[in-house]
Amino acid sequence: MRFRLTGVKDMPNTVAKHLFGREKIFASVNAVTAQNVGEVVEQAYLKHAINRDDIEYLWNYFKGDQPSLYRIRELRNELTKQIVENRANEIVSFKTGFLVGRPIQYVAATGDKNVSDAVGILNDVMRRIGKHTKDKQLVEWCMICGLGYRYVVQNRDNSIRSPFNLYTLDPRNTFVIRRNDYSETVIAAVNYVTDEKGNVTFTVYTPRQVFTLLKGADKPQKTAVNAFGAIPIIEYQNNNARQGAFEIVLTLLDAINDFDCARNEAVEQFVQSLLVLYNCQVDDNVTADTIRQAGMILLKSMNGEKADIKNLSEELDQSQNQTLKNDMYNSVLQIVGVPSQGDGNTGDSSNNGAIVLKNGWQGAETRAEAFEAMYMEPEMEMLSVVSNICGSVRNGFKFDPADIDVKFTRRNYENILSKSQTLTTMLAQDKIHPKCAFEASGLFVDTEEAYSLSMQWYEKIKAEQQKQIQEKQTEVKRDGE
């Protein structure tokens, strides 16, 4: 069945595209200064515009604005079905919930009490400013278009009781510029706004200065000192290709949509099948429209032959079609690393590990761990900016980002019985240090704090038991006298 896409000029984001990730933006300068900022940003903006078009397409696709909404049949176009089975939204929603459904926690990397106290304050402040919600916004952007941007700013609102605040920026109007060498060091970050007249104003952040620049201008309109010595806009990426979660299966998703449209059109065509007249004639004033409206027709025999009228139709084999669709959908899930919902036959329910492997949860966990690795470096950059702000404001708390680990808590209590048995078995071995047992079991998010609290509790119980033994010995001795 042939179909074509229309509205290409009016709706460019609806045209089916093949996307291969967002390009990095480089500049052949060592630093962005007041003398070269106009030229550097103008060149970077041209490159960013390509990424922005892709991001806009993926964002609209995620929301349901997909090519199948614009298909038109060339034959019997009144049967055209425009259906979107929004699996892109399903993929992004699952991955976002799986990764940051529970808040990300900061834990102390050492047993130093001062570090533990600072980390406790940091977690409390992050909870107060709603970082969990902002993490979900950030990860969602990463899953949609491969990139996410976080902005750290000194807080001026005393009601929040935090020296800083975090914002998730729209990647359609944010980008970073990297030095064009092996290090690919970020030398500037740019966020821009467009007013109602179409004028674009850039805010350019460098480690030492902040420039306000109008599009097309050679020199900055305003220059300020960056008091915190670091770029406050941090770029996060989903993977090295900087692709979104569903971007690699766009053609399959389009095929599923086209298949749904075609199958529904086939059903409609079967219901509204064409009429074939055998050995008969109709009045001249009878047309296809009048037949359709009346729902009946009077026939006249020709040359003594029996007149007849029949539907010309052929119904699709829905079971075979469903097999094909299931194959495409399962391929999508396997490629993007989303668990299947199962086929109702999970086998032996006592073998949880086999079920996890069969339904794809182990693959989802592996993909999540890969994303965590990409997440760590920019998160530590963010903590460095936060540390600079906290150390510079009055009543701020101080911490060293090197003393902090970032922990995702999504699957902390899965297989808890197995983890508990591992901990118990290792603690029973004299040659294994208890701290190693705590770390290897994977039972605790903050291994350092769990070990510290457990050892304190152990020493307390041990002291109470020793006290009871001494009291009993004293009592026995007193009775003997």
In the prediction, which pLDDT does 5 show?
41
Distance of CA 412 to the CA centre of its chain: 20
**What one-character-per-residue DSSP string does 50-104 give?**
HHHHHHHHHHHHHHT--GGGGEEESSSGGG-------HHHHHHHHHHHHHHSS--
Q: What is the mean pLDDT of the chain?
A: 80
pLDDT at 355 over 90: no
Render pLDDT for 86-132 as a digit per residue (tens, 0 to 9): 999 999 999 999 999 888 888 888 777 888 888 888 998 999 999 99
Q: Pick the most confident of 81-85, 177-181, 443-447.
A: 177-181
Higher-confidence residue of 63 and 432: namely 63
Render pLDDT for 193-204 as a digit per residue (tens, 0 to 9): 998 888 999 999
- Using CA atoms, how far apart are residues 357 and 359, in angstroms rounded to an integer? 6
Render pLDDT for 372-425 as a digit per residue (tens, 0 to 9): 999 999 999 999 999 988 887 766 678 888 889 888 876 554 566 777 778 788
Residue ranges with strand state E in 180-329? 186-194, 200-205, 209-214, 222-225, 233-237, 274-278, 280-281, 300-301, 308-312
In the prediction, which pLDDT does 229 show?
85
Amino acid letter, 92 = V
Q: 279: left (phi > 0), else alpha (psi -120 to 50), else beta? A: left
Higher-confidence residue of 342 and 391: namely 391
Query: Does residue 47 sit in helix, strand or coil?
Result: helix
Higher-confidence residue of 467 and 200: namely 200
pLDDT above 70 as % of the chain:
74
- Quote the pTM value: 0.76
119: tokens are 């980390």
